[in-house]
Structure 1
C-alpha cells in the first residue's frame, strides 16, 4: 500500500483489479491480476471469520450445547471452560452413583442362581455376586488372591482370603499359596493325591500382603510327599525373602518398583512399601512389610536379572554419554547428593 492511501481505497482497488480494471483515480499505480487474486482471497477469509471471532458469551454457551460447535476448537480457554462445565453438571450424578455403589441390595447368586448372594468379588466380573457355597468353590483354590466383600452385616465388608461366610457368619479358613504343583509324585494313580496344609507364609504382591499357607502333596497309597522348593517358587513367578521363604515376593512387584524408580529416581523403598501397606488395609488384610528385607531381596533379584539379560545378550540400558567412549562423569551417580550433604558423616 502506498503512503496516503487508506485501507478501504486499497480494498476498492483490489476489487477493480479482480474485475479487470487496473487503475483508480485516487490510487497511483496498478496491481497484477495474480497478486490481487491472492489478496482478495485472504481478505474474504478474514471477513468470513470476523463474526465467529466476535461471538458473545451467550452465543458460546448455545454453541457448546450443540455437538457441531466449531467455536470451541478455536480457543483453548473456551475448550477448557466447556470441559469443566460439563463435568460440573455431572458431579451430582457421579455422587449418587458412588453412594448407590455402596448400597447392599438383595441380589441372587450369579453362579447358581438359586441362593441369595453373600459375597461380592471385585475381580470376578461380569458376575461378581456369589452365595456362600459358590464363593468357597470359586475362591478356595483357583482365585485365592481375589478381593472380596462380605454382604452379611448390611454393608460391604472387605474380606481377606482366609475368611469365608458359613451360615451368614464369618469363619476362618485355610487358603493355599497359588503355586505350580505336580500332577503325580509317585506311581500311584492321581486320585490318591491329597493337598494338605503346610507352613504359613506371607505373600507380597502389588495389592499388598496375603497371609496364606504352603500347599503340600501327599499320596494316600504309598505315603509319598512333596513340598515346594526354591525352584518351584521361581518357576511360578515368586522370589523368596529368605532361603526358608517365610516371606515371598511376587516378581511383578520388583518389575513395578524398577519401572517407577527409573521414572522417579527420588522415590524411596519406604514410600513404596507404605503404599503396599495401605492397599493391604484397604482390602481387609493386615500385616507389615519389612523394608530392609524388601531392599535386600530387590538388589539380589536385580543382580540375578542382570546376569540373565547378559546371558541372553539383552541390553536393557544404554547410556549415550558412556558409550562407546565416556563423554561425562557424574560424581554421585544415581544417588541423592543432597542427602549425603545433609548427614553428619
Structure 2
C-alpha cells in the first residue's frame, strides 16, 4: 500500500473518531438539558412579594444596610461604582432585589393566600384556578374597593343586629331554665343569661367576670359586689379568687368558716375590682388563716407593697412588658388610663396609682430576671436599642441634669453594680 493510501486511511479514521466524540458531547448536552427541564418542572414556582402604596403603585425601596453603605461611599470610588453598574457581578447581591419565597407546598400556600384575601376583602374570594387567585392578589386597589363596598352594604344589618343585642326583653335563665333572667355575663358564653339565684352561685366563684343587670329595662354594668334581689340591686361581699387550704388545724374541716378579711383592690386587664381577702377561722380552736404575700404569688398575683392593699394580676405586667417591646415609646400613664377606662366601662370605680404600679412592675421584672438567670434563659435584648436605635428621648440630657441635681434621697439600684440616674 502506498503512502498516499495510508494517509487517506488515517484521515478517515481520525474523522470518524472526531465525529464520534462530537456525537458523544452532543448527546451529553441533550441529557443535561433534559435533566434541567425536569427539575424546573418539578420545582415549585417562586413567589415575589412587592410593596405597594394604597393606590396600588410599586414602592422601590432599598434595604436599610444598603442605604447606610451608600451614604459612606466617597467620591474616590465613584468610577468603580460606575464600572460595577456597567459590568455587574452575578454573584454580588442586588440591593434592589426582592425577597423570594418558595413554599414547600404550593397548594397549601395558595389556600392560605386565598383565606387571607377573603379576610382582607370580606367577599369570600372563590378562584377556580390557582392562577386566578394569584392574579387577584396583585390588584390591591380592586380588593380594597370591594372590601369597602362590602362593609358599606352590610353596615345597616350590623347596626340592627347590634341594637337587637341590647334589647332586654323577657327571657329565661339559661342555667336553670325556670326563673326569669335578670343578669347577663359577658364571660359566661355560650349561656350568658342568669337568674338571681344562679348568678350568686356562679359569680361567687368567679367574681372577676363582667356582668350586666337588666332590671331597669336596659343593660346596666354591675360591679362584682352587687347582686340582684327582688329586682333591686343589693350589696354583697366577694372574695379575691386565691388558693385556700383544705385544713388549717387538726380540727374537722366542718368547723372551718369563711369570712371576709381586709379590703383589697385587684387590678386586672379589665381594670380595678374592689374585693375582700378570704379568711378562714376554726370555731373549735379559734385558729385563723389569711393569704399573705406567698399565698397571692401562688395564685398568680403580685403585691403593690409587702403589706399590700392592692394586688396585680401578673398578666397585667406581662401585657405591659409586651406592649413596651412592640412600642418602646408607650407611656405607663397611657396604659393605666386605658385600665381606668375599662374600670368605668364595666361599672366599677377607683383609680390605679402610677407610682405604685411602676415600682411593683420593676420588682416583678427583677424577679423575672433572676429566674431567667437560674433557668439559663437567653439574656434580655432591648428592641429599642439593637440593632438600630428605635426610640430616643429628645430631652434626655435635661432630664439627667434635673434628676442628678434634685434634692431627694438617692434610690438604690435593684441590681448590684448599677446606678440609677433617673
Q: TM-score, normalization: structure 1?
A: 0.74
Q: Distance in 2 between matches of 1:239 and 1:338?
A: 34
C-alpha distance after superposition, 1:228-282 (max 9, x if no partner) = 1110011111111111110111111111100100110101110000000000000
C-alpha distance after superposition, 1:155-201 (max 9, x if no partner) = 00000000000110000100000101100011122222111010101
Work out which of the residue numbers 287, 298, 323 in structure 1 matches 2:361.
Answer: 298
Q: Which moved more, 1:198-207 or 1:79-88?
A: 79-88
Change (3 A) 1:339 1:99: farther
1:124 aligns to 2:180 (yes or no): no
Work out which of the residue numbers 380, 385, 390 in structure 2 matches 1:317.
Answer: 380
Q: Distance in 1 between matches of 2:379 and 2:322?
A: 12
C-alpha distance after superposition, 1:296-320 (max 9, x if no partner) = 1111111111011101111252479
Output aligned runs, 1:1-345, within 5 Å: 67-68=126-127, 70=132, 72-73=136-137, 75-140=139-204, 142-318=205-381, 336-340=392-396, 345=402
Q: Distance in 2 between matches of 1:218 and 1:228?
A: 12
Change (3 A) 1:66 1:234: closer
Change (3 A) 1:66 1:219: closer
In the alignment of these two chains, the number of paired residues is 273
Structure 1: segments with no counterpart, 5+ residues: 1-63
Change (3 A) 1:189 1:116: same
Q: Distance in 2 between matches of 1:102 and 1:147?
A: 15
Q: Distance in 2 between matches of 1:319 and 1:150?
A: 46
Structure 2 residue matching 1:92: 3-state secondary structure:
helix
Q: Distance in 2 between matches of 1:196 and 1:111?
A: 27
Q: Distance in 1 between matches of 2:394 and 2:302?
A: 33
Corresponding residue of 2:4:
none
